[in-house]
Structure 1
Amino acid sequence: MTSIRHNAPFGDTPTSGPLRGQAQDRAPDTAPVSGRGADPILDPVLDATREVVLAVGVRRTTLTEVARRAGLSRMTIYRRWPDVRGLVADLMTREWVLVAGRFATEDPVTAAVATVGALRDHPLWRKIVEVDPELLLPYLLKRRGSSHEVMLSLVESAVARGQELGTVRRDDPARLARTVVLTAQSFLLSGPALFFPLTGDDLDAELTALLERYLRP
């Protein structure tokens, strides 16, 4: 599967090179997450991006409109994000990782099911899936993004903590974490279609049963 290409980058980007979000033969993205470092424009810009995407979708989002809503100059945005795709990738990283923060304190099964349920109802997730689903394809078929990397780290830590407590079976925590993320991702993306007309609660119950059997001693 090749990366998704467009005749021209969406949004008003000043460059003609590859989009930052296109699949490339390189290391996973390292987009910033809210709260890292001291960057006074990060959250205001991502907040403005969220507003625009929820209003018009990713393809109709422009850096000009994001800058206007954030109260910044367009060049200030361009210097940090040369295209809309990279900006939206950073927004997705922030939003998904905030939802998955429960892995830091909760049992991995409980956290995984709750995270899937929260993302399923997340307005940004719903907007992207309904209007711009192709935006997700490179991260599902070609490579891991920064949100995957952080998610895997959170789940691996939760698994290791569960092993210390005796609530998770002994095995390589990294392998277990990858399987949990892959399973949760499939329930998030394909569950509603495959289990229709079952409800979100039904999906959560099935995911819980599956992960309990996989992770428990």
Structure 2
Amino acid sequence: MSSLRHRADPRLDAYLDSARDCILDLGWRRTTLTEVARRAGVSRMTIYRAWPDMGSLLGDLMTREWVAVAAATRVAADDTTSPAGIAAAALSTVRALRDNELFVRIVELDPDLMLPYLLHRRGRSQEALIEILASEIASGQAAGAIRPGDPVLLARTLTLAGHGFVFSAMTMTDDRIGLTELDAEYARLITRTLEP
């Protein structure tokens, strides 16, 4: 059986739900495919047929989780083809990721799991988010609302800026500057970057 990225199988969602519960309860390091199988009420081999190891399962879980967050925040946005609309949707995504219980748990207990995606390579989740953003930028360009430029380059640039606001925003807050002020500057950064 192939990974979630290659097929839509509702059973895999149930297994990913069990994995999510395990990570929330135990953390990544203490979660095993055996424990996921136990919680899902299936044999170990059923889980091993879907994912050869915890790394591939985590990749599918993070992709499902983060892309769902981005999709939900964009559905809630009024307009994602104007600079201000894209900024509002991006800020909503950043805030939702910062508050996501799976994200928070991984960062609290196993932050090193995120390092490859920040230092060495883009993951499927990042690629999916960049694709969504590039599509919105291209639509805005076609309408004349967004400045010319390679939509993928612009999307990658904004995603790179977003990493800091997801992972490090709290390091820049204190009694003088709060998260609300920083978030407003992130929205302004996006808006000004995209304006014609």
After superposition, the CA RMSD in angstroms is 1.9
> How many correspondences in the alignment?
186
Distance 1:60 1:112, change over 3 A: same
Deviations 1:177-216 (A, max 9, x none): 1111101111111111123354432222110111111111
Aligned AA (2:181): D
- Runs in 1 of length 4+ with deviation above 4 angstroms? none
Structure 2 residue aligned with 1:182:
160
> Hey, what does 1:54 align to over in structure 2?
24
Cα drift, residue 114 of structure 1? 0.6
Q: Which residue of 2 aligns with 1:3?
A: none
Distance 2:156 2:116 in 1: 18
Q: Is the 8 A contact 1:108 1:162 kept in 2?
A: no
Greater mean deviation of Cα atoms: 201-210 or 147-156: 201-210
Whether the 8 Å CA contact 1:45–1:70 is kept in 2: the answer is: yes
Q: Tell me which residue corresponds to 1:213.
A: 192
* Structure 1 residues 142 and 214, CA gap change in structure 2 (3 angstroms): same
From 128, 150, 153, the equivalent of 1:150 is 128
In 2, Cα distance between equivalents of 1:100 and 1:51: 21
* Cα 1:123/1:56, change in 2 over 3 Å: same
Q: Check the 8 A contact 2:70/2:93 in 1, yes or no.
A: yes
CA distance in 2 between partners of 1:144 and 1:31 (Å): 18
Deviations 1:145-170 (A, max 9, x none): 11111111111001111112332111
Within-5 A mapping of 1:9-24: none
Q: Which residue of 2 aligns with 1:85?
A: 55
1:159 aligns with 2:129: no
Residues 3 and 51 of structure 2 are in contact (CA less than 8 Å); yes or no, is this contact kept in structure 1?
no
Match of 1:24 in 2: none
Q: Distance in 2 between matches of 1:188 and 1:46?
A: 23
Q: Could you tell which deviates more after superposition, 101-110 or 173-182?
A: 101-110
* Unaligned residue ranges in structure 2 (runs of 5+): none
Whole-Å Cα distance in 2 between the matches of residues 141 and 89 of structure 1? 16
- In structure 2, what is the Cα distance between the partners aligned to 1:187 and 1:172? 23
What is the alpha-carbon distance in structure 2 between the residues aligned to residue 90 and residue 196 of structure 1? 36
Report the AA paired with residue 209 of structure 1.
R
- Corresponding residue of 2:15: 45
Q: How much has 1:31 moved relative to structure 2?
A: 6.1
| CA deviation map 1:95-152 (0-9, x unaligned) | 0000111447633211111100000111011001110000001111111111111111
Output aligned runs, 1:77-156, within 5 Å: 77-101=47-71, 102-103=73-74, 106=80, 107-156=85-134
Structure 2 Cα separation of the partners of residues 202 and 164 of structure 1: 32
Higher helix proportion (structure 1 or 2): 2
TM-score, with length taken from structure 2: 0.88
Task: Give unpaired runs (5+ residues) of structure 1.
Answer: 1-29
Following TM superposition, by how much is the alpha carbon of 1:79 offset from its aligned partner in structure 2, in angstroms?
1.5
In percent, how many aligned pairs have the same letter? 49
